[in-house]
Every structure is written in C-alpha cells, then in structure tokens.
Structure 1
Amino acid sequence: MKKELPAKYYLAHFNELIAFINTQCCHLLTEKHIDFINKVNKLSEQGQCMLARIYSRKPLLVAIDTLNYTEIDNPEQALEELKVAGLISHPNHSDYQQVLAHLTKPALLELLAPFTPKLSIKKSAAKTTLVTQACDFFAVNLEHLTPLYNQFAINNRADIYEYFEFLYIGRLSSGDINHQNSFVLRDLGVRATRASHTQSLARFDTLDQAQSNYALNRARLAFKKAKTDDQYQALAHEVIAQQAQGTLAVNLKNKLLLRLHQQLKKVDATLSFTILSACENSPEAIEIQIREQYRQGNKDWVKAKLEAIIEDPLTDDQLYFADDFLMRKFNKQTRSRLSTMLADTQCVIAIDEIYRGDVEQGVAQYYESQGLRVFNTENTLWQSLFGLVFWHELYVETPHPPCNEFDLFPHVLRTNRFYHTQQQQIDILLAQWQTPDDLLKHVCKNAARYFEQPNGLFRWHTELLKPLEVLILNSPITALKSHLQNMTLRFLELKDGYPDLMVLKGNTVHFEEVKAPGDKLRRNQLTTIDNLKKSGFSVKIAAVNWINDPNRVYSVVDIETTGSLKGGNRITEIGLVKMQHGKVIETWSTLINPQMRIPKFIVSLTGITDAMVASAPSFHEVANTLINKLQGSIFVAHNVNFDYGFIRKECEMAGINFKMPKLCTVVESRKAFPGLKSYSLGNLSTHFELSLTNHHRALADASATAELLLLIQHSQHKK
C-alpha cells in the first residue's frame, strides 16, 4: 500500500532539521546561524510554512504568484512576515541579470515588446538570445525593471539553511535538495533507513572541521559547474588556500586538487605543480610528481623519494608503485612487479569465443565442466563477510555510530580508523574463533539477527550465505582471521580489487582473477591479491586464450507467452532443440501453466488455450529440468532477447540466477544473408524452405530455428 505524506510535510521536515541543529550542532554554529534560528522560532506557523516552501525550491528567485499552498491560508501575510523578519527580500538592480534569465520566453517577449523598434526583437529567437538582448538593453535602462522586482522573492537558502542541511547529510548536492528529498523518500517508504536509529548525532567535532568540509563541498560543486580555464584557475587558488580540518576534508581537498591538476596541467604548468604540492599525504599526487620529475631528468631526487617511500609507505599500493618504479628505472629490470605476478601465477585456459562478452562466465563454465563448484565473487564476497563479521562493532556497540538514519556507510571505514578506534573489541572477537565452524556460526547469527537492515557494505539476498559458507568451511581459519584483520586496518585499500571467481576443488578453495587477451592487472588488484596470498589464500591469474570450440552445444529455444515481457506476462510453452556437430541430439517441450488467463488474440495466434494449460506444470516445477538441459550450451533463439528475457525473469521469480551465453539468429541471418526483405522466422522459413509445420508453437518454431542456424553456420564456413 502506497504511503501518504503527512500534512504540512515540508514544515515537518523543516522543523525536524532545525530541532537537530538546536540539539546536536550548537558547537558548529556561528552568531549568524543562531540569529537565524531565533528569527525562525518567532515566526507564526504560516510564516514557517512559507519559509519551508521557499527553501524547498531550487532556483535563486521564486515567483511570488507560484507560492500558493493549501496549508497556507494567507500567502501575502506570510510573505510580509518573512520580509519584516529579514528572512527574505525582493531582488534589486544588482540582481537584474538573474531576474531576466529567470523569466520565461513569453514573459521576456512581453517585457521587451514596448522597446521592439529599438531592439529588432525576433519572436523566433532562442531564449538565450533574448536574455542577452534584454541584459544589454536594460543595463542602461534599469528603471524599467523596478516594477518587476516585487514579483519575485530571493531564495537565500544558500546563506544559512544549506549549511544546516550539510551538517545533517554531510554532503551537498547540485541537483535535488539534500534533506528534503531524503525525508520525503523516507516518509513514502522508498528510501531505506536504519531501523535501529534512535537519535541523530553531529558528524563534526569542531566548528573548523564543519566549515572546512562545507567550503570544500561547495568547491566540489563549483568544479562540476566550471567550464573555462579561468574558472578552473580561480578555483584552484581557492582550494589551495582552504584549510582542511579532519580526514574527510583532507581526502576531499586532495581529490579536488588532483582533478584540477588534470584540468590545468596543459594550460598552466606552474600552477599545476603548485596544486600537486598542496596535496597532503596523497599517494597519487606523489606518484604524479615522481613521474614528472623523472621525465625532466631529476633522477637523484626521484631515487631518493622512491627509497623514502619504500622505507615508510603511506599505503601498500604506494609501496608497490615505488618498488616497481625503482626496479625498472634504476635496477634495469625489464619485468615489473605486475608482470612478474602475472607470469608466476597465471594458468592459460582455452575458452570458446562465444564468451567474449562475459569471459568470467566462460572460465566458470570451464571449471564446472570438470565437476568443480564456481562462484562469481569479486568484491561482494569479502565486503559481505566483513559486514556480517563486524556488524555489531560497526553499527551497534561502537564509539562512532552512524550520524543519522540515512548514514549507511560507517564513518570509521571512510576514515580508515576502524581498528585504531576499536582494537580491543576487534582483537577479542577474532580470538573467539578457533575453527571455521566458530566463524560460520557467528556470521549466520548476525545474518539472521540483522537480515535486510540497510547498510553501505553489501546488499541482502537469499543466496548471500552460500558462497560465504563455502569460503569459511574450506579455508584455514588463520587465513580468514588474518585477512579480516587486515581489512579492519586498511579497509579503503582492501574494499575492492578482489579476484573474479572462487573455485572449490575437493575441500579447498582458491581464487582466480580472469584476464582475457589485452586485459591488464590493475595495481589495486595487485594490492588485494598480494594481501590474500600473504594471509594464506591461493590466488591464480586465469589467462584466457580464445578458441572456436568445435564441440559447442547449441540449445535452440522458442517460447510462447501470454504477451510482451514488460506487461507482467508469463510463459505458456517452451520448446528446446539441442544440437552438436550439426546434428540434433535432443528435443524437449512442455506446456506451462502461466497462472493467468491467456488473451484471445494470443489464443488465435498460438492455438494454446486456458484448458490446455490448466493441468500443465508451472514454470517453477520445470525450472530445474530446463536449467539442467541448458547447462553447458549456447542459448539460441530467433530474437534471442525476448526468449532469454522471459526465461531469466521466470527464473528470478523461482529464486534461480539464470545466466548463459546467447546467440540471435535474427542478427546472424542479417549478416549471413544480407538484402532480404524480412528476417521474421515465417518469411525466412518460406525463403529457405525450412520445415515450419506449426508456426507459433514452441517446438515447431525451435526446430525451424535450428535448421536456420545450420544454414547460417554453413554460410559462415564458406566465407
């Protein structure tokens, strides 16, 4: 059931924010902020409603005649109250350009009409052209605009109220208003919030921290809006001069400076170097400086800098860079650390080129054909394990709880301070697990207790525990504990870069990073893989060679349905023809009870009636049979996305993840037989005299499509 917003919900949200500022953020306010709150508290409810409505708007100017709302009985009186309190004002001559730009095109034409003889106004002109003409004309005729100003109120939310929103949300948005949208989506039940939230807390300890973060967030938005070199240069000087208080501010300032460096490095070399020097403990900035100094021939400086980094690196990633650069540039070794790892750990696997669009699936299929269990894991496996292991320490019993119900990602992870702030709790927890079973029980207990509670680490789903159970029960407990502890120490470094696959062979798991020809191993992957190996896990690089497998099995599928995929329709029949080496090796078909009425026009098209499917199995009942028949083959259909999409949707409804390589005979026949008037199955069957004896029945259409596939392959072979 759709929720309804409460009466006067904008005022309710406004008051919720002001209450938070009053109770939690007094230490983050200046005199002007306190004065604003005092003025708001003295307003009538009507005045507060009007102010909340104005602040919910995005533009700088708000047209007075649009401020009519059911909860405000007397808009004129409410606006007058706000003006007397000094909370809003009308624009004046200094704002004339913004006023003209705010007008609609018809309003601009009406305003300029009396002066048309002087201006040569064209009604067909673009609005931007009209605004330019109006600004040029009224710059020396401002008196004509005076009556216009009283039609607008200046939306001064950016002066104070935007800062309050920032204190609550911790980020500024260039689009929709931060807290208003968050509250509205929460009230509608659309946005997930933490159910355990009881009290919102301040996210900054000092006024300096709050204001430096706020200023840098404003600079971040300014960077997004900047378009010219002059704007980027001015912003660079502003960001360099801005003090960064606290880890979050330092990280944001470094990120901004690096973006400005990229923007200006070819425009202003001197400023670009100054930008890099202004970065504080930034491995990326240091790496750029080293590379640039090496290009300029300052090799002694570079060598000393690299040796200093190796002695005391900021991150593992920086250490790998310094070690690699020193080895290749000064020790004259041709193979980098990345190349060495690739050579030492890789296994070459021949994979059918049909998997070019999803190489990981091809490698997974390769191992599954050998009887091994394979899981697509990447970052999800370790992020979900980390979250479930340390849920209590991150979200419940923590000295740094999330600041409010919308904060889903723990602050201590954002600042890489988790282990440092809760070392005793973490050490005690890790010491409790003597066996993999101990750890699995802990994970399952937290999963049951906190299931579906929102968090910023992973998404809940019904299959979440399966790969975690395999990992835990088939890995040394020492390896698991070691890597989990490393994640508590350096979460930002170890949150991603994990191998694509986890492979279970016997009672042992190993990880594989899949690399197709031309793919490269990134340094963050090197960091993570190295950490996994040091913890005691086996990690390999699966280097893929593409082949055209002559033993391919094709599963040619056709389905009949109650209608289109988007209309909530269901499958009524499935037909399957399996082929290998150009011969049919199996056929299978079944009617499906769609559990809904079949429309008359579909009955007339297919001949399948409600009576025919009444005693047929549901898709859920045949799903496993179908999946087993499709296993290890290529999914082929005429207009493949229709058939594949329906089966994938039905599998999702049955709790099955469906994914396999696919081939479309419409696409392939266009390539093989260009110039035909139509590529529908019926017309192609007529053209090539295919055996289509019962069109729009699943097995008949699948059989004709199988014949078409053979013709396509024969044409390709000849070419």
Structure 2
Amino acid sequence: MKKELPEKYYLAHFKELITFIDTQCRHLLEQKHVDFINKVNRLTEQGQCMLARIYSRKPLLVAITTLNYNEIDSPALALEELKTAQLISHPNYTDYQHVLAHLTKPVLLALLAPFDIQPSIKKSVTKAQLVAQTCDFFATKPEHLTCLYNQFVINNRFAVYEYFEFLYIGRLSTGDINHQNSFVLRDLGLRTTRENHTVSLARFDTREEAQSNYALNRYRMAFKSAQSDDEYQALAIELINQPAEGTLAVNLKNKLLLRLHQQLKKYNIELCFTLLNACENSAEATELQIREQYRQGNKEWVKIQLETIIEDPLTDDLLYFADDFLMRKFNKQTRSRLSAMLADTQCVIEIDEVYRNDVEQGVTEHYTQQGLTVFYTENTLWQSLFGLVFWRELYIDTPTPPCNEFDMFPQSLRTDCFYHTQHQKIEALLANWQTPDDLLKHVCKSAARYFEQANGLFRWHSELLRPLEVLILNSSLAALKSHLKNMTMRFMQLKDGYPDLMVLNGNKLHFEEVKAPGDKLRRNQLTTIDCLKNNGFNVHIAAVKWVNDPNRIYSVVDIETTGSLKGGNRITEIGIVKMQHGKVIDTWSTLINPQMRIPKFIVSLTGINDAMVATAPRFTEIAETLLNKLKGTIFVAHNVNFDYGFIRKECEMAGIHFKMPKLCTVVESRKAFPGLKSYSLGNLSAHFDLNLTSHHRALADASATAELLLLIKKFN
C-alpha cells in the first residue's frame, strides 16, 4: 500500500534536522549557527512551517504568491514573523539581476514596454538573451524595479541551513535538497535505511574538520558549475590554499586538485604542477607528476623519484607503476608487466564469437560443458564475504559507527582505519577459526542474523551463500584469513579488481580473469591478483580467442503476450524452432496460462483467447522444459529483446536466473539487406516469400524467423 505523507511533513523533517544539529553537533557550530537555532525555536509553528517551505526551494528568490499552503493559515503573518526574526528579507536594488532572471518572458517584455525599446527585441529572443538585455537596460535605473522587490523573499538557506544539511548528510548536492529528499523517500518507504538505528551521531570530531570538509564540498559544487578555463583557474588558485583537516577532507581535496589538473593541463602547465604538488599522500598525483616531468625531459629527477618509491611505496599500485616505468624508460624493457602478463598467459580459450557481448558467459559455458562448476564472482564474492565476516565490527561494535540511518558504507573503511582502530578484535576473530567449517558457520550465522539489513558493501539475494560456501570449503583457511586481514588493513585498495570467475574442478578451486582480444589488464586488477596469489590462491588470466563454431545450435523463439510491456503483461504462447547446420532439428510450442485476462485487441491480433489458455500450464510449470530446450543454444528472435526480456522476467518471477547469448534477426536483416522500407517480420516475409502461415502465432512466427535466419546466413 502506498504511504501518504502527513500535511506538515516538511515541518517534521525541518525539526528533525534542527534537533539533530542542536543535540549532536553543538561542538561544530559557530555563534551564528546557535543564534539561528534559537530564533527558529522561538518561532510559532506557523512561522516554522513557512521557513521550512522556503528552505525546501532551490532558487535564491521565492515568489510570495507561491507560498500558499494548507497548513499555513495566514502566509502574510508567517512571513512577517520571519522578517521580524530577521530570518528572511526582501531583495533590494542590489539584487535586481536575480529578480529579473526570475521573471517570465511576458513579464520582462511588460517591464520594458513603457520605455519604447521593444522594437529592438527580436521575437525569437531566448529567455536568457532577454534577461541579459533587460539587466543591461535597468543597470542604471534599478529604482524602476522597486515594485517588484516586495513580491519576493530571499531564500538565504545557504547562509546557515546548508551547513546543517551538510553535517547530517556529509556532502552537498546539486540535485534535490539533501536531507529533505532523503526523509521524504524514507517516509514513503522508497529509500532503504539501516534497521535498528536509534541515535544519529555527529560525523566530525572538531569544528575545524567539519568546516574544512564543508568548504571543500562548496569547491566541489563550484567545480561542477564552472564553464570556462578562467573559472577553473581561479578555482584552482583558491583551492590550493584551502586547509584540509582529516582524512576525508584530504581525499576530497586531492580529488578536486586532480580534476582541476585534468581540466587545465593544456591551459596552464605551471599551475598544473602546483596542483599536483598540493596533493597530500596521493599516489595518483605522484604518478602524474612523474609522467609530466618525464615529458618535460627531467629524466634524472624522475629516476630518483622512481627509486625512492620502490624503496618506500605509498601503495602497491604506485609500486607497480614505479617498477614498470623504471624498467621501460630506463632499462629498455619493451613491455609493461600488465601487457606481459596478458601476452604470456598459458590459458587460451577458444570461445564462439556469439559471446562477444558477454565474454564471461562464453567462458562459463565452456567450463560448464566440461563438467566444472563456475560462479561469476568478480568483486561481489569478496565484498560479501568481508561484510558478513566483519559485520559486527563494521556496523555495531565499532568506535566509528555509521552516523545516521542513511549511512551505508562504514566510515572506518572509507578512511582505511578499520584495522588500526579494531586490530585486537580482528585478530581475535581470525584466530577463533580453526577449520573452514568454523568460518562458514560464522558467515552463515551472520547472514541469518543480519539478513536484508541495508549496507554499502553488498546486496542480499537468495544465492548469496552458495559461492561463499564453495570458496570457504575449497580454499586454504590460512589463505582466507590472510586475505581477509589484508582487506581490513587496506580495504580501499582491495575492494575491487577481483577476477571475473571462480571455477571449481572437483575440489580444486581457482579464480579466472577473462580477457577478450583488445582487453587490457588494469593496474588495480594486478594489485588484487598479486594479493590473492601471495595469500595462496590460484589465479589464472584467460585469454579468449574468438572462433566461429560450425556446430552452433540456434533456438529461434517467438512469444505471444497479453501486451507489449513486460512489467504488467504475461506470456500466452511460446514457440521454438531449433536449427543446426542450416536444418531444423526440433520444434516445440505451448500455450501458457497468463493468469490474467487477454485484452480484446490482443485476441483479435493473435487469435488466442481466455478459453484457449484456461487449461494451459502456467509458466512455472513449463519453465524447466523450456530451459532444457534452450540450454547450450543461441537465443534468436525477431526483435530479440522483446522475447528474451519477457522470458527473463517470467523466470525472475519464478526465482530462476536466465541468461544466454542472443541474436536479433531485425539487426542482422538491416546489415544483410540495407535499404528496405520495413524490417517487420510480416514485411520481410512478403518481400522474401517466407512461409508465414499464421502471423502472430508463436510457432508460425518462429518458423518464418528461422527461414529468415537462413537467408541472412547465406548473404553473410
């Protein structure tokens, strides 16, 4: 059932934020912030309602005529109360440009009408152009706009209130108002929050840290809105001298400095070097600086820096760069380690080229046909294992708990201080497992206790534990412990870059990073793969070689449905024509009970009515047969995403994962036969004299599509 918001929901959210600031963040406030809270608390409820409504707006100016709300009995009295409390004010002549920008084109033209300048204004003038012309005209006579000023109030939420929102959310946004949007979605049940949340906590320890982060967020907003190199340059010069207090502020400042470097590197190279120098403990900045200096010809300086990094690297990623750059630029090595690893791999797999758009699926099918068990794991496997193993230490029994119900990602991981602050608990937990079964029991118990609780590490799903069980029971316990400990110490480096697949052959487990022709191995993948190998895991890099499998089997599919949108409609009929070596090897079709009425226009189109499907099987009853028919084949359809999407949706509703390679005869027809007026199945059948006997019945359409596929193959 859809939830309804109460009449005064804005006021409730406004008070929720003010209460949080007043009770939890006093140590982060200046006197002006305290004065603001005191003024708000002295307002009547009507005044608070009006202020909350004004602060819910984004523009600097708010038209008074738009401030009529059911919960405010007298808008005029409420506004007067806010003016008396000096919480709002009217614009004056210094704000005339903002006022004019707020007006519509007809109002602007009406303002100019008495001054006989309208003939110089073209009818095609844009709003922005008209505002600019009007501003120019009234620049020397802003007093003529006095009548407008009392029609607006200044939305000065940026003076104090924005800081309050920042303290709650932790960042600023160019979109909807931060906390209000979150609160509204929460109250409507549309935003996930952490269960069992009781008290919101301040996210900063000191005012200096809070204000530093706030100022840097303002710079981030300014960067997003900047439009010229001059604006970026001015922003860069200011940012260089902006203090960064605390890890979060340092990371944000580094990120902004690097973005500005990217923006200005062709505009002001000297400033760009200054930007890189201003970065603090940034591996990326160090790498960029070395590359820039090498391009400038400062090779001796570069060599010294590389050797220094190798002796004492800031991160593994930077170490790999330094080692590789030194070898290639100074020791005449022709290939990078990343290229060499990929080129020298002994694992080359021939995969049918129909898997070009999903190479991992192709490799999975390759191993599955050999009787191996394969899981597509990538980053999710290790992130979910890490989250379940350390859930309590991350979210409950922690010195750095999430600050509020919307905080999903643990603060201790964001700042890479998890092991530092909780090393005794972590070591005790790791030491507590004597066998893989001990670890598995811990993971299962954690999953049962915290199931479906929101978090920023992984998503809950019904098959979450299956790959974790395979990993734990088929790996060395020492290797698992070692890698988990590494993740606690440097999570931000090891949170991604994991191999695509986990492959189980009997009781032998290995990970596999799949690379198609043209793919490159990224450095974060090298970091993670090296860490896995060093901890005792078997990791392969599989180079895929595309082949055209002559024994390929096509399943040409057509479905009929109760309507065109898969969200609210169901399948009424499925037809399949299986082909191999250019011949039909099997056909199959069935009506399906859609468990809903079939609309009249669909009945007239397909001939399938409610009576025909009344005794037909439901999709769940034919799902196993259908999947067995499709297994190991290429899914072909005319406008394939329609048929494939409906079947995938039905499988999803039945709790079945559905994924297979697909081919679209509409797309292939356009390639093979360019220039035709229409590529509908009916028109193509007529054009090429295909045997389409009962259009809009599943097996008949599938048969015609199969003929079309053969024709396409001949032309290709």
Q: Is the 8 A contact 1:345 1:539 kept in 2?
A: no
Q: Give how far 1:566 is off.
A: 4.0
Where 2:116 maps in the other structure, the secondary structure is: helix
Q: For 1:265-414, what aligned pairs fall within 5 Å after superposition?
A: 265-414=265-414
CA separation in 2, counterparts of 1:203 and 1:672? 61
Q: Give how far 1:561 is off.
A: 1.5
The answer to whether the aligner puts 1:457 opposite 2:453 as a matched pair is no
Q: Is the 8 A contact 2:389 2:442 kept in 1?
A: yes
Q: For 1:571-590, what aligned pairs fall within 5 Å after superposition?
A: 571-590=571-590
Q: Is the 8 A contact 1:257 1:275 kept in 2?
A: yes
**What's the counterpart of residue 706 of structure 1?**
706
1:89-111 per-residue CA deviation (whole Å, 9 max, x = no partner) reads 11111111111111111211111
**What's the counterpart of residue 184 of structure 1?**
184
Q: Give how far 1:484 is off.
A: 0.9
Alpha carbons of 1:674 and 1:125: their partners in 2 closer, same or farther (altered >3 Å)?
A: closer
Alpha carbons of 1:627 and 1:130: their partners in 2 closer, same or farther (altered >3 Å)?
A: same
Deviates most, 662-671 or 336-345: 336-345
Q: Is the 8 A contact 1:577 1:699 kept in 2?
A: yes
Q: For 1:609-624, what aligned pairs fall within 5 Å after superposition?
A: 609-624=609-624
The answer to whether the aligner puts 1:151 opposite 2:151 as a matched pair is yes
Q: Is the 8 A contact 1:501 1:512 kept in 2?
A: yes
**Counterpart code for 2:490:** R
**Counterpart code for 2:432:** Q
**Counterpart code for 2:43:** L
Q: For 1:481-560, what aligned pairs fall within 5 Å after superposition?
A: 481-560=481-560
Structure 2 residue runs of 5 or longer lacking an equivalent are none
Deviates most, 318-327 or 119-128: 119-128
Where 1:545 maps in the other structure, the secondary structure is: strand
**What's the counterpart of residue 242 of structure 1?**
242
Q: Is the 8 A contact 2:499 2:513 kept in 1?
A: yes
**What's the counterpart of residue 605 of structure 1?**
605
Q: For 1:409-448, what aligned pairs fall within 5 Å after superposition?
A: 409-448=409-448
Alpha carbons of 1:673 and 1:143: their partners in 2 closer, same or farther (altered >3 Å)?
A: closer
**Counterpart code for 2:645:** G
1:216-256 per-residue CA deviation (whole Å, 9 max, x = no partner) reads 00000000000111211111111111100000000000000
Alpha carbons of 1:117 and 1:259: their partners in 2 closer, same or farther (altered >3 Å)?
A: closer
Q: Give how far 1:296 is off.
A: 2.3
Deviates most, 410-419 or 378-387: 378-387
**Counterpart code for 1:322:** A
**Counterpart code for 2:617:** P
CA separation in 2, counterparts of 1:658 and 1:329? 49
Deviates most, 652-661 or 248-257: 652-661
1:143-177 per-residue CA deviation (whole Å, 9 max, x = no partner) reads 10112111111100000000000000000001111
Q: Give how far 1:287 is off.
A: 0.6
**Counterpart code for 2:2:** K
Q: Is the 8 A contact 2:339 2:520 kept in 1?
A: no
**Counterpart code for 1:553:** I
1:501-551 per-residue CA deviation (whole Å, 9 max, x = no partner) reads 111111122111111111110101111111111111111111111111111
CA separation in 2, counterparts of 1:353 and 1:711? 20
Q: Is the 8 A contact 2:236 2:260 kept in 1?
A: yes
**Counterpart code for 1:231:** E
CA separation in 2, counterparts of 1:432 and 1:57? 54
**What's the counterpart of residue 665 of structure 1?**
665
CA separation in 2, counterparts of 1:572 and 1:350? 39
CA separation in 1, counterparts of 2:125 and 2:446? 64
**What's the counterpart of residue 656 of structure 1?**
656
**Counterpart code for 2:173:** S
1:59-93 per-residue CA deviation (whole Å, 9 max, x = no partner) reads 00011111111111111111111111111111111
**What's the counterpart of residue 31 of structure 1?**
31
Q: Is the 8 A contact 2:566 2:649 kept in 1?
A: no
Alpha carbons of 1:234 and 1:675: their partners in 2 closer, same or farther (altered >3 Å)?
A: closer
Q: Give how far 1:567 is off.
A: 5.7
Q: Is the 8 A contact 1:417 1:489 kept in 2?
A: yes
1:661-685 per-residue CA deviation (whole Å, 9 max, x = no partner) reads 1112222223323444443333433
CA separation in 1, counterparts of 2:307 and 2:567? 64
CA separation in 2, counterparts of 1:357 and 1:337? 27
Q: Is the 8 A contact 2:472 2:480 kept in 1?
A: yes
The answer to whether the aligner puts 1:229 opposite 2:222 as a matched pair is no
CA separation in 2, counterparts of 1:526 and 1:135? 58
Q: Give how far 1:424 is off.
A: 0.9
CA separation in 2, counterparts of 1:224 and 1:254? 16
Alpha carbons of 1:302 and 1:555: their partners in 2 closer, same or farther (altered >3 Å)?
A: same
**Counterpart code for 1:396:** I
Q: Is the 8 A contact 1:400 1:412 kept in 2?
A: yes
Q: Give how far 1:141 is off.
A: 0.9
Q: Is the 8 A contact 2:212 2:249 kept in 1?
A: yes
CA separation in 2, counterparts of 1:369 and 1:355? 15
**What's the counterpart of residue 626 of structure 1?**
626
Structure 1 residue runs of 5 or longer lacking an equivalent are none
Root-mean-square deviation (CA, aligned residues, Å) is 1.5
Q: Give how far 1:344 is off.
A: 4.5
Deviates most, 608-617 or 586-595: 608-617
1:425-465 per-residue CA deviation (whole Å, 9 max, x = no partner) reads 11111112222221111111111111111111111111212
Where 1:422 maps in the other structure, the secondary structure is: helix
Q: Is the 8 A contact 1:388 1:447 kept in 2?
A: yes
1:548-593 per-residue CA deviation (whole Å, 9 max, x = no partner) reads 1111110111112222134611111111111111122222222211
CA separation in 2, counterparts of 1:441 and 1:344? 40
The answer to whether the aligner puts 1:260 opposite 2:266 as a matched pair is no
Q: Is the 8 A contact 1:200 1:403 kept in 2?
A: yes
**What's the counterpart of residue 66 of structure 1?**
66
Where 2:285 maps in the other structure, the secondary structure is: helix
TM-score normalised over the length of structure 1: 0.97
Q: Is the 8 A contact 2:416 2:490 kept in 1?
A: yes
**Counterpart code for 1:32:** K
Where 2:218 maps in the other structure, the secondary structure is: helix
**What's the counterpart of residue 2 of structure 1?**
2
CA separation in 1, counterparts of 2:252 and 2:470? 39
Q: Is the 8 A contact 1:670 1:679 kept in 2?
A: yes
Q: Give how far 1:118 is off.
A: 7.3
1:683-715 per-residue CA deviation (whole Å, 9 max, x = no partner) reads 433443433333332222222222221122122
Where 1:261 maps in the other structure, the secondary structure is: helix
Where 1:565 maps in the other structure, the secondary structure is: coil
Where 1:470 maps in the other structure, the secondary structure is: helix
CA separation in 1, counterparts of 2:458 and 2:313? 30
Q: Is the 8 A contact 2:345 2:543 kept in 1?
A: no
CA separation in 2, counterparts of 1:75 and 1:625? 67
CA separation in 2, counterparts of 1:688 and 1:274? 68
Percent identity over paired residues: 80
**Counterpart code for 1:338:** L
Alpha carbons of 1:684 and 1:129: their partners in 2 closer, same or farther (altered >3 Å)?
A: closer
**Counterpart code for 2:340:** T
CA separation in 2, counterparts of 1:117 and 1:345? 76
**Counterpart code for 2:707:** E
Q: Is the 8 A contact 1:109 1:123 kept in 2?
A: no
CA separation in 1, counterparts of 2:450 and 2:7? 33
TM-score normalised over the length of structure 2: 0.98
**What's the counterpart of residue 135 of structure 2?**
135
CA separation in 2, counterparts of 1:17 and 1:9? 12
CA separation in 2, counterparts of 1:504 and 1:449? 29
Alpha carbons of 1:677 and 1:27: their partners in 2 closer, same or farther (altered >3 Å)?
A: closer
Q: Give how far 1:478 is off.
A: 1.3
